[in-house]
Structure 1
Amino acid sequence: MSQQTTIRKLAALVNTPVEKLLEQLSEAGMQFSDPDQVVTSAEKLKLLGFLKRAHGKADAPAEDIAAPKKITLNRSRKQELTVGGGRNRQTVDVVVRKKVTLSPVADGGPGSDPDAERAEILRKLEESRQRNLSEQQRLAEEDKRRADEAEQRRLEAEAEAERLRQAAAVAVPEDADAATRRTTGHGHKPAAPPRADDRSPAGAKHKANRGSHAMVAGVEDDESTARFAGQLHLSASDRARRTTTRGKPTRGPQRRSAAPSRSGAGPHGFERPTAPVVREVAIGDAITVADLAQKLAMKGGDVVKALFKMGVMATITQTIDHDTAALVVEELGHTPVRADGDDAERELIAHVGENQGDQVPRPPVVTIMGHVDHGKTSLLDYIRRTKVASGEAGGITQHIGAYHVETDKGVISFLDTPGHAAFTSMRARGAKLTDIVILVVAADDGVMPQTAEAIQHAKAAKVPLIVAINKIDKSGADPSRVKNELLEHDVVAEDFGGDTQVVELSAKTGDGIDDLLDAISLQSEVLELRAVAEGRASGTVIESSLDKGRGPVATVLVQQGQLARGDYLVCGIQYGRVRALFDETGSQVQTAGPSIPVQVLGLSGVPDAGDDFVVVADERLAKEVAQQRETKRRETRLVQAAGNRMEDIMAQMGQAEQQLSLNLVIKADVQGSVEALRQALTALSNELIRVNIIVAGVGGITESDANSAAAAKATIIGFNVRADASARKVIENSALDLRYFSVIYDVIDQVKQVASGILGMEIREEIIGIAQVREVFRSSKFGAVAGSMVIEGVVKRNKPIRVLRDNTVVFEGELESLRRFKENVDEVRNGTECGIGVKAYNDVKPGDQIECFERIEVQRTL
């Protein structure tokens, strides 16, 4: 029977109400009274023929095919009907279909009257509307009746469940299934009564009569009917899951018995965990409270509350360190693990390790160091046959210059470092990059502070030292004195039995230059300098700058491999692709090998001087490494900022009330100059004034820099850079102090003057004389007059005085009169007797001292 088609199944297949299908079968001449009667294939064909004829699709002569016999117009309208009230309130979808069939009428026939045709159409429309209204009323009444029956069954079930619960409370506990079987008389548990809104077959049967478009769930779910049994995009398991009862949950035992079936309905049913979920939370060096809450699958407020209980006052946006985060994770019952944030770094190390090859001899890297104006750049200038020193501001090197020179002794790469005290870090960086350090000392000046500092840098880097005693052509030259002074710094010349080569030369005349090159070649042979000449390059950034036309420019020293145009490289927290390579003369080159300095274009930003660079295979790895380094740097900075304790902040606040502040905006041409200026100017701070660098960067002065200076009321310093048009406009409108410099000496002197102007004048008291009271005379006119002897300095009239008794100030006021015998005088000098009248004080006694002083204004300086 399951394979035969009943009238109910046929109605579901053709999406037509059962009552309408029975009417169509009756009109076709077939009598059916029960919807469950079987319809044969012959009867289906007979019904199909009848419907075709009824819609004008019967066979017609060939001449009539072109002209349609009838035109059928269909229109559907969907409405919602609300039935019942309160908890039994239900909404029923009602679809109203209107169908009008129009047939052409022959000219002159009885139907040619348009008014009669219109009346016929209106009559049919009215009949259709009446049928639809009656159908809606019938469905509403049936739904209300079924809802009442369902509510009655629910109340009866609740009463029965309550009676069973009371009976079980006084009975001996036993197996629940056995008790249920004895109560119901069956071997199965009593099922909950069906609700009116259940999507069970019984409920679906009630929904089958809601209109021509209602979904029928009572039809067998075979392949032929599956597409009509629900929504087309749902599978059978999805439909089973959606049969869960919706709406407000019922109370009492019925709700408890329905919960297990609801949780297990469908593959996505929720199952309550039987044990607490313990998560492994990966934590880096620092993490925000919001990110930690997300990893814990908790609300941010709960994590903040846990931190408060531990004594950590943190907001949801605040960053906490690894230890604090690990403690709160353990407190919340989870397991903290160390975040492995070095995946990209390890991949980079493995990437570089794959590129090791055979090592070949390489040129030496020589750094020239020494004191200011001892001839470092002039020496290099003579070797290069150019005029570098004349192009430097004030004849002083302001940043590291990198050159490679082809000499008769072979290729040598030179690094020229500045000699000013502010460039300590640049000299230290130069010593770390180099193979040999040439210490230039002037024969007429000897060892100076920067000379001693260069010796310390060379020793710290464990780099061999060659001393070049310059300016031997001058009249006051004394090389022996220089060698003796070097002994104080543990630099022993070969002449004195040591191992340090000392060459006497003149960068002006060229004497001794060949001897210096021979010493360099000899030292490089001893060192046996070798490097991998092929493969991916690696090295160090010597200097960096921001060029307005070319973008970020980095001067790098290749230490391994071959750097070529088009390579992808990561440099500190910057990355990019090499767009161009330039040598020290500005000529474009295609490649650069070991020990060769070049300028690189194409980086994403300006790297820091001293950063290492590595060439990688693709841009992905370079970007990942750069971003990872930037994240770690930011986390470290946040941890340091979060490490400030409340007492430190209060101490700073107390100090700030008395300490003045000088804000500066520094822009320079290269990164090394920015670093040197920052260190030199910050070191000018003292207990009276603090030099605060709010902006320090590479490149020209932009509008953003000017706005920052205007907001902080800062002085703008441009070191070998200039302000653009938009920045100049802001500077003029805000009346900012803009100063250009090209020598670092001038920067330090000018900042000292500006800071002194902020400090203002200081009022000091200077003691100009002391008189000792020998006798006190009483006068009716002047009162007490102290007969005194000036024992120190000068006592002047109309100056403030203090009366001291036993070295303690007992009065402070003014001199009323100063007499020498009977004459009034303006001043009395040391060793002279005089009479002193103290204004408004008559308690002067013998033995007191009268201290005369004056107040003067002194300009405060750093």
Structure 2
Amino acid sequence: MTVQTVKILSELVSTPVEKLLTQMKDAGLPHQSADQEVSDVEKQILLNYLKRQHGDSSEAEGEQRITLQRRTKSTLSAGAGNKTVNVAVKKKRTYVKRTDVEDELKRQQEMLAEQRAAEEQARIEAEQAREEAARLEAEQAAKAKAEAEEQARKEAERQQKEREAADRAAQKTEPNDSDMGADKLVDNSKETNTTRKVSQTAGNSKPSGPAPKGKKAAPKQNDRKDDKPRGRADQKRTGRISLNDDDEFSRRGGKRKLKRPGKQEHGFQKPTAPIIHEVALPESITVAELAEKMAIKAAEVIKVMFKMGAMATINQTIDRDTATLVVEEMGHKVKFIDENALENDMIDSIDYEGESIKRAPVVTVMGHVDHGKTSLLDYIRTTRVAAGESGGITQHIGAYHVETDHGMVSFLDTPGHAAFTSMRARGAQATDIVILVCAADDGVMPQTIEAIQHSRAAGVPIVVAMTKIDKEAADIDKVKNELVAHEVVPEEWGGDVQFVGVSAKSGQGIEELLEAVLLQAEVLELTAVPSAPGKGVVVESRLDRGRGSVATVLVQNGTLKKGDIVLAGLQMGRVRALLDENGKTVESAGPSIPVEILGLDGTPDAGEEFIVVADERKAREVANFRQGKYREVRFARQHSAKLENLFSNMGQDEVGTLNIVLKADVRGSLEALIKSLTDLSTDEVKVNVVSSGVGGITETDATLALASNAVIFGFNVRADSSAKQFIERENVDLRYYSVIYNIIDDVKQALSGMLTPDLREEIVGTAEVRDVFRSPKFGLVAGCMVIEGTVYRNEKIRVLRDNVVIYEGELESLRRFKDAVNDVRQGMECGIGVKNYNDVKEGDKIEVFKTIEVARSL
């Protein structure tokens, strides 16, 4: 039976879907949408209804119709003259027996309902049959599995009984040390007879015979190097008993060969059931290690992974989820192991309990660039940090603590440039209170909104400092209205945010700001345990030429002391020195105190958590484990990316790539630069950071830049002497920067130069055909008048007829009178010969254009 939808039927009969649905509803059909199916019976019902509507009937209804015709005649008088006009009127009327039509419609609808009920019953029976078959199959599989397990159990019991019987027999006949000494004095033939008699007594049905001729007698026991009888393992395995197995050995070519009477047997028993291993899976594992845990060949694992749709090599690292699927596919059990057990045990062993005291708040100053964040801190600290920053902007996270009349406060100053989003996020996560700086003469800007979002994500309260209120253009109400639009409502307007107007030049409002911060800190009830081991977060890290790795950390709990063993992310080390923000050496740092520590074996990532541990060996083990895990995860991610993008990278040769070797002074600036530079990439050009690191530019960096055809960027760092000589000798491109704006602008300009220029057509002249001539030398020549611009001999042309392009090509000749010319200006006549085109007519226009390249920019 053919089934169609209402939409397909509407297209076949050229009727709108809405109209067709209305007709089907009038015909008594249940269809209401265009996706419902229409059967042949339903189509027949609709057809009969439409025939009745149009006065037509089917053959089955022909007998139920009666048509009557009636004709009447009359005469009309035409007025004077007794003229008359005969008029004939014909009437036709058809009568249909309605009851039969309604019965037929009802009968078709009942047939349709029965048909649908039969289809539904068949579907239900098919589902029941499939479920019954699945149940029977599951029962058979369970029964077969139970029989196999029972058979394996019986076989194992039988083998165990045989081994126990053999062990008991061996223990009864095992000679002691005195027997061994006596055997040394007995003749070889006597030993053979004794062995044969004992073997017969033990029930051996096939006693050993005399040695064959030509064979040497077995050596005596006093010739052996040890006193232990040989063949003991074979006795236990085969169940044979012998007082001296040396009688059964002979020498052939210097090797001892066992000669046993009767059929020889081995101790290997073929397993009667598949061996199921319990595979312990870590976070990541190689294919070879996974195969070793399952006691199979690596090729089998690769084959199973290939069938599952994952191609892998024997040394490839796979994640835990993929390994779980492979193990379960091969019929083994999975057991997850916690690789972080050592790390968790070490962290859990640290005791942070003790007497809690009130600690100072950690305040982060956030806001838009050039809104006065650092200048505000300068006034509080009475220093000039902003004047020393490159370009007058903050490019690092500065950590300070100051003693005020109201108590101690620790400040974190974050950059306001768009490139330092991650640094602002870290500042918000390591803080207790956020001071949102917003200039009264500028209002809310993009980085102001971003700072609000970071503060809310970290769940810390906000205190708004409206700076530059002493300027004439300051508008405090405007700032409040714009911040209210971002749900930062002042207290005087019914909100919970304190607004304070300040000036970094005159000092107006500074005291009120500190009071607001300390009031918010009292509400938070900040406490810490100074007697506990130090714990906190890494604010920044850098590589100093003379001091090595230097990390700026903020102690959040406990006390950090000189000589403590610190574990920070992937790095660890013993604290050799503690320096405050002024560079002075201190012996310890308590809660909410930022300090610089020396002694780590590397530069930890900014934002990593640091802890003080007691055992240096365990700390080194945890650091090595984290480094190995980081390398494995990175390798697995790189391999997965290469595998997944195998085909998508086939056309990458057409993409322009700018390779960069980037070195920066601190870790935070390095992360911000990498993100900002890679964000400049597009579908046509991209930035590839070949290598990056903290510290000066070395010869290794220069060699890598030369090998990868890369540009070296130094951000607040310089190249050493050997690197300078190499760079000058090999002519490597090296650029120094101290402001992040400049490096981003230069890279953007370089990428713009790598973009393919746009091609643009420029019309330079138009000539109108006034007449057409035929020349025996040049063929068809158009006599033209230049009506616009200049017609050039060597440029491309288009022939237009009624402003429609009919030909595009080149000029074959351009002449003025009889002379060939290169160009003809506006208002002058000329003769034009179009190359390979002879259909130029009077009234056509010849348009001369040239293609120019327009440089693109990001």
TM-score with structure 1 length normalisation? Answer: 0.69
Distance 1:842 1:542, change over 3 A: same
Letter in structure 2 aligned against 1:536: P
Instruction: Give the corresponding residue for 2:692.
Output: 696
Q: Distance in 2 between matches of 1:257 and 1:355?
A: 73
Letter in structure 1 aligned against 2:207: A
Deviations 1:605-647 (A, max 9, x none): 2111111112222123322332333333333323323433756
Q: Distance in 2 between matches of 1:11 and 1:186?
A: 20
Give the stretch that moved more between structures: 796-805 or 701-710. 796-805
Q: Does residue 762 in structure 1 map to residue 774 in structure 2?
A: no
What displacement does 1:272 show?
6.5
Q: Distance in 2 between matches of 1:10 and 1:254?
A: 25
Structure 1 residues 92-107: aligned runs within 5 Å: none
The equivalent position to 1:556 in structure 2, one of 553, 556, 572, is: 553
Letter in structure 1 aligned against 2:660: L
Instruction: Give the corresponding residue for 1:257.
Output: 263
Distance 1:584 1:826, change over 3 A: same
Instruction: Give the corresponding residue for 1:286.
Output: 284
The equivalent position to 1:537 in structure 2, one of 534, 539, 543, is: 534
What displacement does 1:681 show?
0.8
Contact 1:442/1:469 (8 A) holds in 2: yes
What displacement does 1:274 show?
6.1
Structure 1 residues 646-685: aligned runs within 5 Å: 648-654=645-651, 656-685=652-681
Q: Does residue 742 in structure 1 map to residue 738 in structure 2?
A: yes
Structure 1 residues 473-622: aligned runs within 5 Å: 473-622=470-619
Q: Distance in 1 between matches of 2:347 and 2:842?
A: 89
Contact 1:285/1:635 (8 A) holds in 2: no
Q: Distance in 2 between matches of 1:330 and 1:554?
A: 47
Secondary structure in 2 matching 1:207: coil
Instruction: Give the corresponding residue for 2:55.
Output: none
Q: Does residue 801 in structure 1 map to residue 797 in structure 2?
A: yes
The equivalent position to 1:328 in structure 2, one of 326, 329, 332, is: 326
Contact 1:773/1:845 (8 A) holds in 2: no
Secondary structure in 1 matching 2:456: helix
Instruction: Give the corresponding residue for 1:191.
Output: 207
The equivalent position to 2:363 in structure 1, one of 361, 366, 388, is: 366
Contact 1:281/1:336 (8 A) holds in 2: yes
Distance 1:501 1:346, change over 3 A: same
Q: Distance in 2 between matches of 1:534 and 1:251?
A: 75
The equivalent position to 1:706 in structure 2, one of 699, 702, 705, is: 702
Instruction: Give the corresponding residue for 1:623.
Output: 620
Deviations 1:79-115 (A, max 9, x none): xxxxxxxxxxxxxxxxxxxxxxxxxxxxxxxxxxxxx
What displacement does 1:747 show?
0.8
Q: Does residue 394 in structure 1 map to residue 391 in structure 2?
A: yes
Q: Does residue 316 in structure 1 map to residue 314 in structure 2?
A: yes
Instruction: Give the corresponding residue for 2:773.
Output: 778
Distance 1:564 1:798, change over 3 A: same
The equivalent position to 1:381 in structure 2, one of 357, 363, 378, is: 378
Contact 1:784/1:843 (8 A) holds in 2: no
Instruction: Give the corresponding residue for 1:122.
Output: none
Letter in structure 2 aligned against 1:439: L
Distance 1:847 1:541, change over 3 A: farther
Q: Does residue 837 in structure 1 map to residue 832 in structure 2?
A: yes
Give the stretch that moved more between structures: 233-242 or 709-718. 233-242
Letter in structure 2 aligned against 1:745: Y
Secondary structure in 1 matching 2:700: helix
Deviations 1:470-517 (A, max 9, x none): 222333333333223323322233344433222222112222211211
Give the stretch that moved more between structures: 701-710 or 475-484. 475-484
Give the stretch that moved more between structures: 715-724 or 312-321. 312-321
Instruction: Give the corresponding residue for 2:219.
Output: 207
Distance 1:195 1:848, change over 3 A: farther
Letter in structure 2 aligned against 1:470: T
Q: Distance in 2 between matches of 1:345 and 1:617?
A: 13
Q: Distance in 2 between matches of 1:347 and 1:246?
A: 61
Letter in structure 2 aligned against 1:728: K
Q: Distance in 2 between matches of 1:334 and 1:677?
A: 48
What displacement does 1:757 show?
4.5
Q: Does residue 216 in structure 1 map to residue 209 in structure 2?
A: no
Q: Distance in 2 between matches of 1:605 and 1:514?
A: 41
Instruction: Give the corresponding residue for 2:53.
Output: none
Contact 2:363/2:433 (8 A) holds in 1: yes
Contact 2:697/2:718 (8 A) holds in 1: yes
The equivalent position to 2:425 in structure 1, one of 424, 428, 435, is: 428
Structure 1 residues 115-130: aligned runs within 5 Å: none
What displacement does 1:710 show?
1.3
Letter in structure 1 aligned against 2:732: L
Q: Distance in 1 between matches of 2:636 and 2:432?
A: 37
Q: Distance in 1 between matches of 2:226 and 2:201?
A: 40
Letter in structure 1 aligned against 2:612: V
Letter in structure 2 aligned against 1:712: S
Q: Distance in 1 between matches of 2:232 and 2:768?
A: 117
Instruction: Give the corresponding residue for 2:402.
Output: 405
Deviations 1:313-353 (A, max 9, x none): 3221122233332333334443222232121233134224x
Secondary structure in 2 matching 1:837: strand
Structure 1 unmatched ranges of 5 or more: 14-34, 37-141, 158-180, 209-214, 218-228, 264-269
Q: Distance in 1 between matches of 2:671 and 2:210?
A: 82
Deviations 1:109-157 (A, max 9, x none): xxxxxxxxxxxxxxxxxxxxxxxxxxxxxxxxx9xxx9xxx9xx9xxx9
Distance 1:395 1:311, change over 3 A: closer
Instruction: Give the corresponding residue for 2:294.
Output: 296
Instruction: Give the corresponding residue for 2:343.
Output: 345
Secondary structure in 2 matching 1:584: coil
Distance 1:533 1:794, change over 3 A: farther
Contact 1:786/1:844 (8 A) holds in 2: no
Structure 2 unmatched ranges of 5 or more: 1-174, 237-244
What displacement does 1:772 show?
7.6
Instruction: Give the corresponding residue for 2:683.
Output: 687
Give the stretch that moved more between structures: 358-367 or 273-282. 273-282
Distance 1:466 1:252, change over 3 A: closer
Contact 1:768/1:795 (8 A) holds in 2: no
Distance 1:474 1:811, change over 3 A: same
- Alignment RMSD (CA, Å): 4.1
Distance 1:494 1:11, change over 3 A: closer
Q: Distance in 2 between matches of 1:186 and 1:234?
A: 18
Q: Distance in 2 between matches of 1:605 and 1:732?
A: 30
Instruction: Give the corresponding residue for 1:79.
Output: none
Letter in structure 1 aligned against 2:462: L
Q: Distance in 2 between matches of 1:823 and 1:498?
A: 86
| Overall identity of the aligned pairs, in % | 50
What displacement does 1:407 show?
1.0
What displacement does 1:460 show?
2.0
Letter in structure 2 aligned against 1:707: T
Q: Distance in 1 between matches of 2:384 and 2:752?
A: 39
What displacement does 1:307 show?
3.7
